[in-house]
Amino acid sequence: MPTPVTGPEHHADLSFVEEACRAIAPRLTGGELIVLESTCPPGTTARMAQDLLGERPDLSLDGAGGRPVIHVAHCPERVLPGRIMDEMVSNDRVIGGLTTRATQMAAEVYSTFCRGELLLTDATTAEMAKLAENSFRDVNIAFANELATVCDRLGVDVWELIDLANRHPRVNILRPGPGVGGHCIAVDPWFLISAVPEQARLMSTAREVNDARPAQVIEQVVEAVEGLDAPVVAALGLAFKADVDDLRQSPAIEVVAGLARRLPQATVLAVEPNRQTLPPSLSSLPTVRLTGLDEALERADVLVVLVDHRQVREVDPRRLEGRTVIDTRGVW
């Protein structure tokens, strides 16, 4: 279960962690290792330990007063949707305990199945490592998205520009898109931003840039259908990334819902080859319906590429003739 954010300040909702503590506390006898894998703000592992001790004051972290010891560590998951079982075994793992013994015990557990390198540190640094990884990617994507906006104003092909810039051996600009989704990159930076907002200005700006992208795509479509009485808009892809069926935090969902609101006279054909039904947020909209790729290509006045699924990448460009194409993923 990923740790969600809540409210306008995007604070972490730790209720699931707290509930888990309450559930396991009565069963502890001493000597157990408790590992938190969910991505969380700095200090959550220590807070979890204190919650456990609050439920069980007869236990301790250090044996003080002769009380039985529990061992608490953090090992953030590092897996890619669609490759979870493989990467659970093959990826390097960062392991940080509240004590040296907790770190060692956690390393012993993960060594039984993990072929990647086990990187040992303290709990807070382990928490920060995962947040830093995803915040770095968010900032890089924000740069790419801002670059796409600049190129659009200047009449430059952003895809060609990025390909050329990335020929430099020390440059690796990621690809622009309609926004950032998923349960990691769109969420994790907020855990750092909310912890130290005055010091996390770049990360905060990156979140603003990426969160603004769906609205920019919607405006492009609105401009493209201007003058059409009953336009048909095909939105290709609903998942948060290519070749998965995961819709969590997907900017494509936001784009499709926004198009339905902004263009009540339009029919919005949503194409998602990895799902059989629309999510509730879209199924309740009368002008949105799920359809196949072939029908969308035949009927649409405007084609909007939101996710670069394999089926979209394999479309013959000749089938696009006579239609306006807004390609947010650089497929065509």
Question: Would you kindly state where each structural domain of the chain is located, as residue ranges?
Answer: 5-129, 225-332
Alpha helices in 175-287 (DSSP H): 188-195, 201-224, 251-262, 280-283
Q: Strand pairing of 71-74 and 93-97?
A: antiparallel
What is the model's pLDDT at position 159?
96
| Amino acid 331: pLDDT | 93
**CATH topology for the 225-332 domain:** Rossmann fold (3.40.50)
As a whole number of angstroms, the distance between CA 322 and CA 201 comes to 44
Q: How far apart are the first and last CA of the chain?
A: 36
| 5-129 and 225-332 have identical folds | yes
Question: What was the pLDDT predicted at 183?
Answer: 82
In the prediction, which pLDDT does 155 show? Answer: 96
CB 273, CB 303: distance < 8 Å: no
**pLDDT at position 83:** 80
Q: Is the dihedral of CA 102, 108, 114, 115 positive or negative?
A: positive
User: Could you tell me which residues are beta bridge partners of residue 289?
Assistant: 269
Q: Do residues 211 and 281 touch, judged by C-beta distance below 8 A?
A: no
The pLDDT of residue 2 is: 61
Q: What is the pLDDT of residues 54-84, one digit of tens each?
A: 999 999 999 999 999 999 999 998 877 678 8
User: Among all chains, which residue has been given the structure tokens 């060594």?
Assistant: 111
3-state class percentages of the chain: helix first, strand second, coil last, to nearest 5: 45, 15, 40
Coil, strand or helix at 205: helix
Which residues of the chain fall short of a pLDDT of 50?
none
Q: Residues near 314 by Cβ (< 8 Å), separated by ≥ 6?
A: none
Report, as residue numbers or ranges, the catalytic residues: 130, 184
Instruction: Output the pTM of the full model.
Output: 0.89
The CATH topology of domain 5-129 is Rossmann fold (3.40.50)
Contact partners, residue 226, CB within 8 Å, separation at least 6: none
